[in-house]
Chains A and B, each alone.
Chain A
Amino acid sequence: MFKKVLIANRGEIAVRIIKACQEMGIKTVAVYSEVDRNSPHVQIADESVNLGDPTPSESYLNIAKIIESARNVNAEAIHPGYGFLAENPDFAKACADSGIKFIGPTPEVIRLMGDKIEAKKTIASANVPVIPGYHGVKQDLSTLIKEAKKIGFPLLVKATAGGGGKGMRVVHAEAELEQSIESAKREAKSSFGNNSVFLEQYIDKPRHIEFQILADEHGHVIHLFERECSIQRRHQKIIEETPSPVMTKKLRDEMGTAAVAAAEAVGYTNAGTIEFMVDGKQNFYFMEMNTRLQVEHPITEATTGVDLAKWQLRIASGMELTLKQNDLVQRGHALECRIYAEDPSNGFLPSIGTLEKVELPIGPNIRNDTGVETQFHISSYYDPMLAKLTVNSENREESINKMIWALSHYVVLGVTTNISFLKKVLEHPEFRKGNITTHFINDYFKDWLVTKEGLPMDAIIALAVYDSLHPQRQEIVRYKEADPHTPWQHVGRWRMGR
């Protein structure tokens, strides 16, 4: 096993990986940009390296700086987390070239799966179904428009190097096509440095269901069942659960087998996820493979009892998988909510500010993954996800009720968050019934507003109480003038602590 690992990430995922390492007796090195100097991930790590300039390309995306940091501290391996350099084959290659173990698959596999077109071709050859579309190399506007018309509308424009909904547009009519392609290309260019896109038929009543894979470096591949990730906004997941309410034993066996076949077809190693689209008739299609630990991995951990981050470390250090497919069971039901600093009543725009107060819900089977704390400043440099909240119970209904309780006790003050929105989604009768598709938010929450009714009476009462307990300076002066016998007359200069 490694003695020292550098974690090339920030926020909750860096914290989660550092904790896994520390439990296993591995020393940890955090990296941070100037604005993250006091972040929780830096505080809990055994060592830390300042990457300087907070611009991602100068810090968490800077391959040279990170490799140099790892060398300077004698780290044997680098865990990339998710996002940033996690799916960058050049980074994995640079690690290998420097004699540092990259905790993930090989650069070749990352490159292959990162190219969505080649990935589909390869996976299709392993007899896994894929969605019809244009995956050609000709990227000029007229070719794309011609191919789009062939596929028909609605269709999806997607960045070839994409992921996480970035560089992705749904086109409903020909009139929107040109602007959508241009915008997707720009976003792809700025996020992934590659502006190539592909087009795809848009599936009706689609569910996004993915399978977790673990593969060691000795040819063993297993899957750890599904995750239903259909609740998305801006094509990014916000609520995930397992098992999927639509899953049958037959479909699970078929999809699980396909997922393992897909991983085997590319010689996959370490933790990965095969994403499928499932339509209203339970047909499933391969969408893409994420060659990293997923954001939503805690729900799999909660229902299988397997620690995915620790297995990543074990596999990377050359250990064999001791987990056998037939020994794995899914127990109960788990649900995850992503807590974002964003405004659901204003197009989910990111919200910036200082967290004045953070108090997390605590209780049986409630897991908090967080990389922020009180007084942390949310800047526009990085993704606005603050934390993840995971709960698990005997069944889906109990999980939903537990999650609603937990969200009701989740205090984040200082920025606008999606917490009350998440609660409303969970309370929705169609969600409770399990009738969800990737259009759920658009279908039921398009013009959602947090406070249609205005300020509730309880809030007014609380404010009035608070303000009379914390009078402002001019009010103190007013009291003095009004009452010459008040004790305020004698206290002199002072201020209320916050």
Chain B
Amino acid sequence: MFINYEHNTHVYNVTVERRDNKFFITYDNNEYTVNAIEVKPGQLSIQLGDRAIKSVISEGEDSKFVFIDGSIFKVKRIELTGRKKTEKKEGDLNSPISGTVVTTKVKQGDQVRKDDVILVIEAMKMESSLEEIGRLVEARGFDGR
């Protein structure tokens, strides 16, 4: 079984074969043979040689969350069907949080430079400027809503 995982824009191509509790995993030309069981839903106990890997995995709407030794990784499983990933269009600026727009610092058609504040959003009682959220590499205008 071939699987592609995407994490922070990097894609990891993995193959896995299963025979009972034995799993044969190939990644980056390395083969790993592990014994694993799902102790309870999402909680895995994996034995790799003399080392134990303890992991908790849960499924979100479109991605999985992997807990390993106090760190959490958000990973998306993707299908590589020959077509390239759609690149973000120039001028797109998405806010990662939802909230109330307090002020807009620019209007449609304005020239803005990198690090300029576009608008200020208030969510969870904290004000955040959109320049903090994403750096504007290049922008030609602001499509005001």
- Asked if B99 contacts A466 (CB within 8 A), the reply is no
8 tightest CB-CB pairs across the interface, nearest first? Answer: A408-B70, A356-B58, A462-B55, A413-B65, A464-B16, A413-B58, A357-B58, A465-B36
B95's closest neighbor in chain A, by CB? A349
The residues of A with any CB-CB pair to B shorter than 8 Å are 166, 183, 186-187, 190-191, 234, 343, 346-347, 349-350, 352-354, 356-357, 359, 380-384, 407-414, 416-417, 419-420, 423, 450-451, 454-469, 471, 475, 497-498
Interface size on B, residues (CB 8 A): 59
Are A187 and B127 CB-contacts (below 8 A) given A455-B5, A462-B44? Answer: yes
Closest chain B residue, CB of each to CB of A189: B102
Contacting residue for A461 out of B53, B67, B125, CB 8 A: B53
Asked if residues A454 and B10 are in contact (CB atoms below 8 Å), the reply is: yes
Query: Chain A residues with Cβ under 8 A from B132's Cβ?
Result: 347, 349
A465 & B60 in contact (Cβ 8 Å cutoff)? no
Residues of A within 8 A of B64 (CB): 463, 466
Instruction: Report the minimal beta-carbon distance from B61 to chain A, rounded to whole angstroms.
Output: 8
A461 touches B12 (CB 8 A): no
CB neighbours of B7 from chain A (8 A): 451, 454-455
Cβ–Cβ < 8 Å partners of B82 in chain A: none
CB-based contact B72/A413 at 8 Å? yes
Complex Cα gap A466–B67 (Å): 12
User: In the bound complex, do residue B34 and residue A465 qualify as a contact, i.e. CB atoms below 8 Å apart?
Assistant: yes
B-side residues, CB < 8 A to A, are 1, 3, 5, 7-8, 10, 12, 14, 16-18, 23, 25, 27, 32, 34, 36, 38, 41-42, 44, 46, 48, 53, 55-60, 64-75, 77, 96-99, 102-103, 120, 122-128, 132-133
Which A residues are in CB contact (< 8 Å) with B55?
A: 458-459, 462, 466
Contacts known (A191-B125, A380-B97); A454 close to B8, Cβ less than 8 A = yes
Q: Which residues of B contact A465 (CB under 8 A)?
A: 16, 23, 25, 34, 36, 44, 46
Measured between beta carbons, the chain A residues less than 8 angstroms from B3 are 463-464, 467
Is the beta-carbon distance between B133 and A346 smaller than 8 angstroms? yes
Tell me whether B124 and A382 are in contact (CB under 8 A).
yes
Q: How far is the CB of B97 from chain A (nearest CB, A)?
A: 6
Chain A residue with the shortest CB-CB distance to B34:
A461
